[in-house]
Amino acid sequence: MIEKLHKSLETYYSEMVELRRTLHQHPELSFEEVKTPELIADYLEALGIEVKRNVGGRGVVGYIRGGKSGKTVALRADFDALPIEEETGLSFASKVPGVMHACGHDGHTATLLVVAKVLMQHQQDLEGTIILIHQFAEELAPGGAIAMIEDGCLDGVDAIFGTHLWSTMPLGEIGFRRDAIMAAADRFEIEFHGRGGHGASPHETIDAIAVGTSVVQNLQHIVSRNVDPLKSAVLSVGSFHAGGAFNVIADRAKIVGTVRTFESEVQDMMIERMEQVTKGVCNAMGATYQFEYKKGYPAVINDPLETDRFVRVAIDLQGEELVKEMAPVMGGEDFAYYLQHVPGTFFFTGAGNVDQGIIYPHHHPKFDFDESAMLVAGKLLTSAAIDFLLNSTKENLHSQVDAN
């Protein structure tokens, strides 16, 4: 059956490309998606698929109920874009000024739509139910996953699979991990309050820039001196704003940055130490501060058993030499929330192509991906879903027998 589905996907590859390019030309920002979910829902309904619109706000969920009873598996794709001015020069470049699909979500959506078309053609042969989760607002916390889950998109789901087209990984390669594959992505802001004054009379002031600079320098020591070297953490200050005139000592300064971790204990320690450092420096220099820390998406933690299932089907499709256990990625993904509720795995599908000049990273104005990677991703998602429906019940029976 899987072989038939793969051949059908190949037949509709040109439609997959057409869908991707249509989506690419009409990107919509997180929490502002209107036309995109309409296109998705209309497409699925035209196939005869049961559809729920406005799930969690702007999400779309499709239900393919097989002709035979069985378990339920979900496949997820995201569809929001980014506030970036496109510089690719593609013939199908964004028509929306300042907005671009710079992360491959247009490809994720097009892939899952055509997967749905192929699965629907074999609906009567399916042993169970396949749920298609089209998620809004992955790029901007709190993201769309939480709201969709609260609105029931995972009701009755036994497992879930998702992928990310990855432009920095060569076409054909597949990346997986059996545990943490993406980090928790947090944001912090610290505002320093000093006492401004004339640049010629620093002794009469409390220099907020000097305070902020000292805090930034000391924050850099937390990871190197407080985090277990066998564990991972990143602390980056991405913005420092203060002052306005060359001869005025600033009374206020503000830094904004991000923290990335995989373990909640490390995350909690980072928060505690950051405020301790800030408080200590400010006390020593006579300043006050406001510390704000916002936890973003949690770490993406794959289920080992479902990852093993995926690895097996991926090797069958791509060959063992192209299916590689990868290092964790410090970027964040709200697929994490799905995995907190049901077992599953999130994997990376290589979509880079040096010969075609597809070398730019995600969120870059010249980002693009090799469109043939969508076909690979579609086959992998289909294989994982079908394998789960066909074999998970048997596997559970075997494990029960072994336990006895």
Known binding-site residue numbers for Mn(2+): 103, 105, 139, 164, 363
Which positions are catalytic?
80, 138
Give the helix, strand, coil percentages of the chain, each rounded to 5.
Answer: 40, 30, 30
367's tokens: 């980002």
CA distances, 294 to each of 63, 257, 356 (Å)? 35, 11, 40
Separation of alpha carbons 47 and 91, rounded Å = 29
Q: Alpha-carbon distance 358 to 364, whole Å?
A: 11
d(CA 180, CA 183): 7
- As beta bridge partners, residue 278 has none
Question: Which residues participate in the annotated binding site?
Answer: 103, 105, 139, 164, 363
Q: Are 210 and 196 in contact (CB under 8 A)?
A: no
Side-chain-side CA neighbours of 64 within 13 Å: the count stands at 28
Gap between the terminal Cα atoms of the chain? 33
- Lookup: tokens for 376: 């690979």
> φ and ψ at 177, to 5 degrees?
-145, 150
Give the span between the Cα atoms of 224 and 221, in whole angstroms: 5
Tell me the helices (H) and strands (E) count for the chain, helix number first.
Answer: 10, 16
- Token pair, residue 320, equals 């063992």
Q: Distance between CA atoms of 384 and 95, rounded to whole angstroms?
A: 35
- Say how far apart CA 27 and CA 137 lie, in whole Å: 12
In sequence order, what are the residues at sequence separation of 6 or more whose Cβ sits closer than 8 angstroms to the Cβ of residue 9? 16, 114, 115, 118, 375, 378, 379, 382
Two tokens at 352? 């880079």
Beta carbons within 10 angstroms of residue 317's beta carbon: 17
Instruction: Report the greatest alpha carbon distance in the chain.
Output: 82
State the Cα–Cα distance between residues 197 and 202, nearest whole angstrom. Answer: 7
* 3-state class (DSSP) for residue 173: coil
